[in-house]
Amino acid sequence: MKITLTVNGDRYERECAEHHTLLRFIRETLGLTGTKEGCGMGECGACTVIMNGRAVNSCMVLAAEADGAVIQTIEGEAKGPTLSDIQASFERNHAVQCGFCTPGMVMSVKELLASDPHPSVDAIKEAVEGNFCRCTGYTQIVEAVTELTGTGAKGGLDHV
């Protein structure tokens, strides 16, 4: 079937198999491989993209369901060599180690900040509760957001 959607501001009209996921469409049809497949079943959040303003696991959305949708992926963050504010704060705060979870983390944080520019630490934790990071221990990720928003004290987070 043919679907039309907007990804990072660009409009695409493409053929897709009816059983393909949005994740597969983004990676294989559009060639945007920043979005990752981790578990493929909604546990890890590596495939998180923003669809019509909401962070979703693109491994559990069919490309067919995204017909007409507005999608944002990690490729829409940096403008040329200039990182977005969220990306830059992740870099400054060492919120990235292997980087596999980072595109999904950034998308979840982006949705949060769009609706709540000054989130509490609890709200930040809740926003990324569906994004697994097996490297950083999460503290730096929460700190990257609090530094950006001026909410919550840096350090001293007992656990996430």
Partner 1 sequence: MLHPFRYLAPQSAQELAAMLADHASDGKILAGGTDLIPNIRNGVFKPSVVIDVKKLPDASSLRLGADGLSLGPAVTVNDILRSKDARERYPVLCACAHELASHQVRNRATVAGNVVNASPCSDMAPALLCLDAVAVIGSGTGQRELPFREFFTGVKKTALKPGEWLDRIVVPASSAGARGSYLKLKRIAGHDLGIVGVLFVRLGGSLRFGVSSAAPTPVLVDTVTAKDGPDQAAATVLGSVSPISDVRGTKEYRQHMIGVFVRRLLAEVK
Where does this chain bind partner 1 (CB under 8 A)? Answer: 1, 17-21, 40-42, 45, 48, 54-57, 59-62, 64-65, 108, 126-131, 159-160
Q: Shortest distance, CB of residue 127 to partner 1, whole angstroms?
A: 6
Provide, rounded to whole angstroms, the least separation between the CB of residue 106 and partner 1. 13
- Closer to partner 1 at the Cβ: 90 or 138? 138
The tokens describing 55, both together, are 């962070």
In terms of CB distance, is 41 or 153 closer to partner 1? 41
State how far the Cα of 21 lies from the Cα of 159, in Å rounded to an integer: 34
- Which alpha helices (DSSP H) does the chain contain, by range? 22-24, 85-92, 102-115, 121-127, 139-149
Identity of the residue, 10 or 43, whose beta carbon is nearer to partner 1 in the bound complex = 43
Give the H or E element holding residue 12: strand 10-15
